[in-house]
Amino acid sequence: MKITCKLIFLVIFIGLISCQSKDPERMVVFNDFQLHINETGQGQPSVIIEAGLGSGLDSYDNLQTAISQLTKVISYDRPGLGKSSKSPHPRTLPVYVNELKSLLETENIQPPYILVGHSLGGLIIRYYAHQYPDDIVGLVLVDCPHEDWTEYIRTTHSDEEVKMFNSVVDPNQYTGVMKEEWEQLEQNCDLLRGLEIPRHIPIRIITAIQYGRDQQSLGYRPEDMTARAEMQARMMNNVKDAQQITTDKSGHSVHLTEPELIVNAVKELIEINRNTLK
């Protein structure tokens, strides 16, 4: 009888542990949509990867694997991308930030956070840092466009070059959520205009200045790469600990061609945070 009771207790205990554990890759259910999340690694601070426009978390698998050797890292598909269901809410920075905040709270992923944002993801994490500055101990902006970049192209280039640029960024050539993200991009840039990154948050900006076919197809000139770097450097204004890393070996997808640049930046910010706790 005693053995039977012990076996029953053991089964119940194992069941409780199983209920408490979470799959690293899982769906998180909200009232009107579901988010696909991947959580790997252990430790603090937690690193959150915010994907580029129209991209899902799968594009950042290698980056997540590398960072997970350093600390806990979370990536997710924004609503309507990857495996996440579509949200009825507009694709604006306040909505993006509210969705990420809700995800972290629902999954009990506590601050402090280091946010890594690629392209549009960089705009999102800049706005997040403005809304919740006390939660953030580092930002890594991966070829995040300055909010004046589109205006710069359209006011300094020839009609033919602007036509080439518009043909790529025209939302009407896309469908679904990718189209919605393109449609809102300039309005989201407007929301950031005049907002400085809080002074106490260390930031690393990784800027791709490679000039090749992809850049030519956008109507860019070789000198635009210098202008792009200078404009991204403006995002460091007011910040006490800020560095810019430029690379001419990568185009916009730095996370695929030179992920080590991002990993090294994250590692440095982790060490800064952990050293302050000693």
Rounded to whole angstroms, the Cα distance separating 270 from 273 reads 5
Domains defined along the chain, listed by start: 27-272 (3.40.50.1820)
> How would residue 277 be classed by pLDDT, with cut points 50, 70 and 90?
confident
> How would residue 187 be classed by pLDDT, with cut points 50, 70 and 90?
very high
Mean pLDDT of the chain: 93
Instruction: Answer yes or no: are the C-beta atoms of 169 and 182 closer than 8 Å.
Output: yes
Say what the pTM is: 0.91
Q: What is the DSSP letter of 60?
A: G
Average pLDDT of the residues in 52-74: 98
- Residue 125 backbone class (left: φ over 0; alpha: ψ -120 to 50; beta: rest): alpha
Candidates 167, 154, 152, 251; CA nearest to 206 is 251
